[in-house]
Amino acid sequence: MQFSRRAVLGAGAAGAAVLAGCASDGATTPVQADPSARLNDVLDRAVAATLRRSPERCTSLGLTEERAGYKFIDKVSDASKQGAREAREQTRTALGELRALNREALPARDKVTYDVVVTAWENNLASAQFEVGGGAGSPYVVTQLTGAYRSTPNFLNEQHPLRTADEAEGYIARVNGFVGQLEAETAIIAEDAAAGVIPPDFAIDKAILQLGRLAEGGPSQNILVQSLVRRLPEAEGIPEASRAGYISRAEAAVSGGVIPAVRRQIEALQRIRPRAVHDAGIWRLPRGEEMYAAALVSRTTTRMSPDEIHNVGLELIAQLNGEMDAILRAEGMTRGTVAERVQELSRRPDQLYPNTDPGREQILADLNTQTREIEAMMPRAFNTLARAQLEIKRVPPFTEAGAPGGYYQRAALDGSRPGAYFINLRDTSEWPRFTLPTLNYHEGVPGHHWQISIQQESGSIPFIRSAMLGFSAFSEGWGLYAEQLADELGAYQNNRLGRLGYLQSATFRASRLVCDTGLHAKRWTREQAIRSMMEATGDLESSVTTEIERYCVNPGQACAYMIGRQAINRIRQQTTATLGARFDLKAFHDTMLANGAVPLSVLERVLADWAAAQG
């Protein structure tokens, strides 16, 4: 979500804006008279209210209490349905205030902000009207990919700071708050099931498996305690004499609160498991077709139909498979389908890392080397360079069974925590050497880390847009475009198999269009989607299964990547045709990233205006 830059001051600035905007003495205040000030007033108050509801986000962003407007270090967000209803009403009220403004009276930069925020809030409300799980795009509250049991322990381990006694106290308070989140979601499991909303059987089974891992062993072995054991010795602001006490209190909170709550959640899932079916698509839920339509609009920021998206995927798969075939033939691999030959290559000993901890460490080391190499190429494609550092980490073992192959965590705004992306290393055979560079370029540089860091470091993007609103079609589209850009910069010039990995990755994203729409609109089975993706990409069944099961519980999200990349490429082609020899790729990229994540329709307008201004 994004706001005016001064909204980063939190409730102080927002409170002043509220007072000015609500003056009742009949006088015309500056906020009332100035269209930009009125826009900022609406956004500042929305930011302050959102931050109040999102203490974890305040920590993740690295905000101070002054900026957030309250003490958040000891609080967690409300996971109840009532909390979701209050958040939805907050958004509806803010959207009404925004629509009451005269957009045409705003300067060009503020018109962009207006359009971005209106689109985000409209999509949010369209999704949230379905009072199940997290809305249309995440209809089940607890699955192998969703639920506080996954997010809160990772947040406390990776993002909650432990530098002072106050932060240590906050950690204990948040562990206790985690219990309330679990209980709220356990209640939702039963409520949603009564309304006919039950996850597919395989999603429940994997959630139970992962919840069991969080509850197994004694409290001293739990990640919530182990995080303290690991980090407290490095906390100079916490007296050594106090550290054992914090660990003891965490153990008590885990044994007396967290583990029993986790077990109650397992029992709630076990109670609904007999009613679960194997059908994977959202079509089977009440108003399922409407839900999928809302999810696609939100994820792609387009009005493309499921059939249109499906056909784009089929056409791209055919094109990309042709390019892959040419490389495989150049490698002397001519027998079998493209997928069969890719699978054969994936099993070759020279492409495999040992499935051991040393093998996993070598993968991380190789990724870091590749990062340094691609960073050296960035001045050829950008004038503005990202400053935030990047760390590459392993997905925590207790969530790796259902986690995706990789995901990114943005750097803190205050510089206290670098950006990081996590790679799932449950089985190193899922990461043949030829596939790794492209993952790196997508999640790291010039992908998510690069784009989000430049957005956060810009200083000119309103805070609501730089830090609080997200558009999957832009961000994931950029990540996929970044893979293509690395190829254009020559990253694979001496690595033909690495380029095969790039083409396989693009094919994988094209296959997502086919499989997501297949599952949720064409009533494909889970197995049908797995087979389709394996035949298109040659990926291993284990990794494909994780992906397909992800789409089953997050409908529409998988379509954002390739729809976004194709839109960026189309806009680039249009801009090149407009400017001809005056087209500057560096300036094009700078302009795109300087505006931050936006809906695709807004992106097209921004870059068309930029091209027109080049004279």
Q: What is the pLDDT of residue 16?
A: 28
pLDDT, average across residues 533-542:
93
Q: What is the pLDDT of residue 308?
A: 98
Q: What is the pLDDT of residue 32?
A: 58
Phi-psi bin for 69: left (phi > 0), alpha (psi -120 to 50), beta? left
Residue 18 above 60 pLDDT? no
| Predicted confidence band of residue 138 (pLDDT cuts 50, 70, 90) | very high
- Distance, CA of 268 to CA of 188 (rounded, Å): 10
- What is the distance, to the nearest Å, from the Cα of residue 88 to the centroid of all Cα atoms in its chain? 20
User: Where are the alpha helices (H) located in 129-220, listed in sequence order?
Assistant: 148-158, 165-194, 201-215
Segment 339-348, tens digit of pLDDT: 999 999 999 9
Alpha-carbon distances of 328 from 332, 507, 604, rounded to whole Å: 6, 15, 37
Q: What is the pLDDT of residue 404?
A: 79
Residue 5 above 70 pLDDT? no
pLDDT, average across residues 19-34:
44
- Distance, CA of 399 to CA of 444 (rounded, Å): 21
**Number of CB atoms found within 10 A of residue 488's CB:** 12
Lowest mean pLDDT among 6-10, 271-275, 460-464, 568-572: 6-10
Q: What is the pLDDT of residue 406?
A: 84
Residue 283 above 90 pLDDT? yes
pLDDT, average across residues 375-402:
91
Is the Cβ–Cβ distance between 446 and 378 less than 8 Å?
Answer: yes
pLDDT, average across residues 8-34:
37
Amino acid found at 96: G
Of 130, 140, 135, 258, nearest in space to 188 by CA = 140
Question: Which two tokens mark 241?
Answer: 């004499």
- What is the distance, to the nearest Å, from the Cα of residue 280 to the centroid of all Cα atoms in its chain? 22
Name the one residue in this structure whose structure tokens are 């094109």.
319
Adjacent-strand bridge partners of 408: 421
Is the Cβ–Cβ distance between 394 and 425 less than 8 Å?
Answer: yes
Residue 9 above 50 pLDDT? no
The CA dihedral of 274, 277, 281, 286, to the nearest 10 degrees, is -70
Q: What is the pLDDT of residue 546?
A: 92
pLDDT, average across residues 176-204:
98
Amino acid found at 432: P
Adjacent-strand bridge partners of 319: none
Of 266, 254, 66, 34, nearest in space to 147 by CA = 266
| Predicted confidence band of residue 511 (pLDDT cuts 50, 70, 90) | very high
Amino acid found at 301: T
- Distance, CA of 66 to CA of 76 (rounded, Å): 18
Is the Cβ–Cβ distance between 538 and 338 less than 8 Å?
Answer: yes
- Distance, CA of 535 to CA of 547 (rounded, Å): 14
Phi-psi bin for 556: left (phi > 0), alpha (psi -120 to 50), beta? left
Residue 14 above 70 pLDDT? no
| Predicted confidence band of residue 88 (pLDDT cuts 50, 70, 90) | very high
Q: What is the pLDDT of residue 540?
A: 86
Interstrand relation of 406-409 and 419-423 (parallel, antiparallel or unpaired): antiparallel
Cis peptide bond upstream of 446, omega within 30 = yes
**Number of CB atoms found within 10 A of residue 66's CB:** 12
- Distance, CA of 238 to CA of 353 (rounded, Å): 41
Q: Where are the beta strands (DSSP E) in 388-505?
A: 390-394, 406-409, 419-423
Segment 315-347, tens digit of pLDDT: 999 999 999 999 999 999 999 999 999 999 999
Interstrand relation of 406-409 and 390-394 (parallel, antiparallel or unpaired): unpaired
Instruction: Share the mean pLDDT of the chain.
Output: 92
Q: What is the pLDDT of residue 27?
A: 41
Residue 516 above 90 pLDDT? yes
Residue 237 DSSP label: B
Q: What is the pLDDT of residue 19?
A: 25
pLDDT, average across residues 378-399:
92
Burial (CB count <10 Å: 0-12, 13-18, 19+), residue 141 = buried
Name the one residue in this structure whose structure tokens are 């099993």.
347
Q: What is the pLDDT of residue 2?
A: 29
Where do the structural domains in the chain lie, given as residue ranges? 5-128, 148-278, 342-513+538-615
Is the Cβ–Cβ distance between 439 and 366 less than 8 Å?
Answer: no
Sheet bearing 419-423, strands edge to edge:
390-394, 419-423, 406-409
